[in-house]
Amino acid sequence: MSASRRLVELGHKRVVDSARRESFTGRVAVITGGSSGIGLATAEALARRGVTVIIIARGVGDVKCAVQRIRDHNGTAYGYPCDVTDHYAVSGVAKAVIKEHGPVDFLINCAGRSIRRAVVSSTDRLHDYERTMAVNYFGAVDMILAFLPSMRERGRGHVVNISSIAVQTKQPLFSAYVASKSALDAFSVVAAAENADAGVSFTSIRMPLVRTPMIAPTSDFATLPVETPEQAAARVVRALAERPDRIDTPIGTLAEYLGYVAPTIHRAILHQVYRAFPESDVARLTVPRRPATTDSAPGNTLAKKVFTPLLALPTPGVRFTRWVPGLHW
- CATH number assigned to the domain comprising residue 55: 3.40.50.720
Asked if residue 275 is part of any domain, the answer here is: no
Written in H, E and C, the secondary structure of 1-12 is CCHHHHHHHHHH
Task: Classify residue 292: in a domain, yes or no.
Answer: no
Pair 140, 90: CB distance under 8 Å = no
Q: Which domain holds residue 92?
A: 12-249
Give the CB-side neighbour count of residue 146, counting CA atoms within 13 A.
26
- 3 occurs within a structural domain: no
Task: Report how many domains make up the chain.
Answer: 1
Phi, psi values for residue 73, rounded to 5° = -105, 25
State pLDDT tens for residues 66-123: 999 999 999 999 999 999 999 999 999 999 999 999 999 999 999 999 888 999 999 9
Q: How far is CA 15 from CA 6, 25, 306, in A?
A: 14, 18, 41
Q: Is position 313 within any domain?
A: no
Whether residue 258 lies inside any domain: the answer is no
* Catalytic residue (choose from 80, 137, 177, 274): 177
Is 177 designated active site? Answer: yes
Confidence class of residue 294 from pLDDT cuts 50, 70 and 90?
very low
Taking the C-alpha atoms of residue 244 and residue 241, their distance in angstroms, rounded to an integer, is 9
Range in 103-107, 142-146, 322-326 the model is least confident about:
322-326
Closest CA to 52 of 65, 34, 38, 36: 34
**Domain annotation covers residue 156:** yes
With 0-12 / 13-18 / 19 or more C-beta atoms within 10 angstroms meaning exposed / middle / buried, residue 97 is buried
Q: Is residue 216 part of a domain?
A: yes
Q: Of 249, 255, 259, whose CA–CA distance to 313 is shortest?
A: 249
Model confidence, pTM:
0.81
- At residue 174, does pLDDT exceed 70? yes
User: Parallel, antiparallel, or unpaired: how do β-strands 28-32 and 200-207 relate?
Assistant: unpaired
Terminal-residue alpha carbon distance, the chain: 34
Question: Looking at the domain assignment, is residue 302 inside a domain?
Answer: no
